[in-house]
Each structure stands twice: as structure tokens, then as C-alpha cells.
Structure 1
């Protein structure tokens, strides 16, 4: 649109100059009004059909010499759009033929003037157009190089991420999987040789939990090693598994009180997954930092929102090592699901993890 407005202004200006020359008696041809209209149309079409417009302008200038003013801009357009190729040469030859056929001085002084005029009307627009063409080619080349550099950077980053994921997968397989496998084997052996039924039951719980951890770890390793053309995803934990989490911890000897609505509400997948992980992390922290303390797990609906709450009495820590990222991870999960998280003592001697998730249509 901007170029069209520029061409329109240029065409009107050139047509105005030609009209003033004709009115002042400068080489006023027959039907000079049609000449001005033709110049207007050709200048507006010069970017779409540069060479055809140049040849038409040369023919028009042959019969109406004042129209040669418009050939300057047309020649520039041909050189700028086509570059140092045969269309530019044809345009120069056509303009030169028309100029020499129109102006034929009889003395050396006149030829000097004609040569100077030709240098201004031919060489300057030709060189300016070629310079603009080379500039456009250079800008396109720089854009291509920038795009190629960006693609190369993305490819290197992707390769680095893939290599790091595989390294993490190897470390998890060699360290974590090995340790958990030993726990599962020892728990299985203990359940067989247990001196009493209670010890056998607890050993079996440990073995089942270790086996479940190995299964989840195997899925995680598969995701870490996945190829781009073979997408895999982890089995998504849902709200239905919250009661099972609390039941597994209670089977291991913990004092867990679970309160969930029946039936469970229908929640979006990301909300169910976040709620499951929140309860899982909160139960782990409670067992780690306050072993033997009563734990309360509660799911409820409050004005179109899902409330997940895990509370435990404060007690002595079991001394188990931790990474220190549990609360950070819970907060990130809740935020991604569109909810809010509050963690800390509630003033009555309990440590409370409370997450609130808006449900579809309830927020």
C-alpha cells in the first residue's frame, strides 16, 4: 500500500510537469492529454511489468518527447527489480535509441550537451537501480543466514537436551533403580522369613511399594529416552488414586484418616494429576518429617472448587535426607493447574498443605 501511494504521487507529479510544459508551449504534441494519461497509467504499472512498461514508455517518448522524463523512473525500476540482467540492458538500449533519434545536434557543443543529459537520464537511474537490487539481494542473504543460524542453534540445543536426558536416564537406572531393586528383594526375603505375621505384612507392603516404584521409574526412563518419532507419555495419575496413596501408607503402619467425596467429582486431567501429586508429596513429607504423627487427607468441593488438604501433627523428624524441592514442585504443579497453594503450620499444632483448584465452570 505504501509503494502504491508513492507511485501514485510520482505519477501525478510527472504528469503535472508534462502538463505545465505542454501548456507553456514546450513540444506540445497532438492529443497531449492522452499522453499524460498514458504516462500516469504506465508509472502505476511499472513495478508489476517493469520491462513491458519501459518499452511502452520508450515508444510513447518517441512520439511525445516530453514523456522521456518518465523513462528515468521506469529505467530505475527495471534495474532495481531485475538487476544486472538482459531486461536492464534492453531498457537502456531502448531509452538510448529514443534519445538519439529525438535529439540530433549539428555541432560538437550540442553533442556534449546530449551526452551530459544522457549520463543524467541513463547512467544515474541505472546505477541507482542496480545498487538497490544488490542491496535487496544482500539483505535477503543476511536473512537467510540468520534463519540458518537460528535453525542450527535450535538443532544443537535439541541435541544437547537429548544427550542430557539420556545421561539422566542412565544415572537413574544405575543408581536409583539398583537401590530400589535391592529394597524390593530384601523386603521379599523378609516377608518369607518373617518371625511373625505383622512383620511379614509390613515387609510385603514394602515389597509392593518398591515394585510399584520400579514400574513408575521404568516409565520415566522410557520417556527420557524416547525418540521424536516415537512419542510416549507417562500414565497419568488421577483423583481416583488419592485413596490408594493414603491406603498404602496406612498399610505400612501410619495413622492416616482419609475423607473423600463419594462419588468423586469429575475434574480436568491436569487438576486430577496435580491433586494426586500434591497428596503424594504431602504424605511423603509427613512420613519423613513427622513419623508416627496422625495424618488427615481430605478432598472436598467448595463453591465450584476442588480443595485438597493434607494435615499432620508436628513431630520429630525421621532424619531421612531430602532434596529440598518438594514445596517448590507442589507450588509449580498447582500454579500450572490454575490453583492456589498454602503450606505451613495452621496455629493449632498441625502442618497443613492446602491446594484449591478451580473446576470447569466453577471459577
Structure 2
């Protein structure tokens, strides 16, 4: 399923492919994005997400398939006729133009009259909180202000949708966190779809309504952000989204949605999707925050004994690294205030039988 609901899609991709010689950068993508969606394309470098964004924008012609914006086929249409705004990673502001001139540039290209340009400029400056900066030049602005100018330029044409290609990659961590909140606010206020490309899962999880995880030109999973995080559809998604421990073993006693896995002499009770049979080699993924480290053996759930090797302080949270008897390690994440055991102490690593997910190797 690629649609958020049954309302008409603002953007539709129908069997879209893009091949560069033998390389299938995008391979038969079908996707519908709704009018009020914040949709993220998440994946590693080379997964095809930026190529897909360029196809939507009209900067690349697909090898096959169609692109529809609000029901209109724009596949052969040049970018300036598509009513699509775009914000880039490197801002791409004109250094010799003022903030106001940079923002209204798309309207000049569209031959919009001076009076309407002025009205839209006032609207964009207010929306992006740029009041008082109209006569400044890009080199007189902070990184966050430059990014707001880039966003204002992308929105001033009142596009049918806005494409954002790694727009926060060049900002520091604190400013990036601030802009994540701001960008989502703009999207909800404007009620137009934003399509956001990133390799940063934190950005995608913070802002998105739905996420498509891409690899090798295809979607590994599409769904609400919580489902992508908590219910990975493939081993790749389980490994890529969030921080997980990975255990590989052999499946035994497979039931409809749970199994027993033998791992280094331990029998673990684990959930799984369809497609696993007794005797199969399986990979199990359990997120750090779903694992607990305690000084006592629990009465229920999976249990592994070991010693607390180290505590990695991360501010509000800490990673607790437990060494097992065979030398392997399990990592748990919890509040940094919730330190129940000391480094070097004997501990139990535990998690519920319903947590995590197994996939056939």
C-alpha cells in the first residue's frame, strides 16, 4: 500500500524508473502522496532517493513511467511549469542579490507583476520569520537565516508541493533540531505536501507523517513513521532505522507469529513475520531501548547473563554495554539517571518475548 488514505493524491508516481546504462537508480516506483502529508524518502547514499526527487522536479526525465501532480501528467513538462518548489542542501542563494531579491526571483522568472511580488514577499517574510532582513545579503546571514531564505524562495510561488533535498545537512546539530520543528510547522500551516529527502533517520522520524525507506532504487518499506521504526518490514529496515542489537541463530518451534531461536546455546522466544520455518537461519534485531540491564534474573522474558563492561554517557540517555560469557556484547539504552548497576558487576540482559523482529537470513 502506497497511499496514506482514500483522498485524491497530490503527487502520483506510476511505474517510474530511471536507468543510467546498466544501473537502475530508480526501479518501477509506484507512490501516491496526499495533500496534507509530510513524506520523507530515507535511505543511504546511492539508494535512489535524490534521483527520484529530481524526476519529480523535472530535472531528470524518467526512463519509464509517469509523474502526476494533482492529477495532471507533468512527465514531459519543464520544471518551471510544474508548480513545484524546491529547497536544496547548499541553499544556492545568489550572493550579489539581497534577501528580498533572492526570495522573489522565481516570481520574476514567471513574469509575476510588481504589486503581487510585493504582497507575496511580505507573506513569505512573515511566514519564515525574516522580518527586518530584506536588504541584507546572504553573507550577512547566519546559516539558519540562509536556510529560511531558501525555504521562502521555494514557497513564494505557492507551489502545489515542495521538494526538500537534504536541506539541513550543512547546519550544526542545535540549529538542525530547531529547523526540524520549524519546517514541520510550515508544512502544517500551508497544508501542502512536502517531500523530504534525507539519509538522517532522526530528521525523517521527527518530521514525517510517512516514510519510504529506499535501497537500490526500490522501496524496502513505506508507512507511518512509528511503523517503520517499530515494525520493520525487512532486515535492511530493521538494521537501518534505529540502533539495534543483531543476533543470528536457528529457528525452532515456529508458531503463527512467534518462534524459539537457538543462539549460542541460549533459547530465545522471539516474534517474526511470515515466511520462516523450523530449521531456518534467522537474524533477530532488538533495539537498544527495548533491552533492560538488571542486577537480578527476571521472572519473565528473554534472559542472558553477563557483566557490565562500560556505560557510555549520552546526556539524557546512556548506553549500557554488557559482555556475555562467550565474548559477545549486548547494548541497552536507558535514562542516564537510571543506573542500577556498577561497571564490572554481574548483570542480566532481558527483553520481552514480543519485542524486536526476526527475519530469514
TM range (shorter): under 0.3
Higher-RCO chain (CA-CA 8 Å, sequence separation at least 6): 2
Larger Rg: 1
- Normalized per residue, which structure has more helix? 1
The two structures have a TM-score, normalised by structure 1, of: 0.19
- Normalized per residue, which structure has more strand? 2
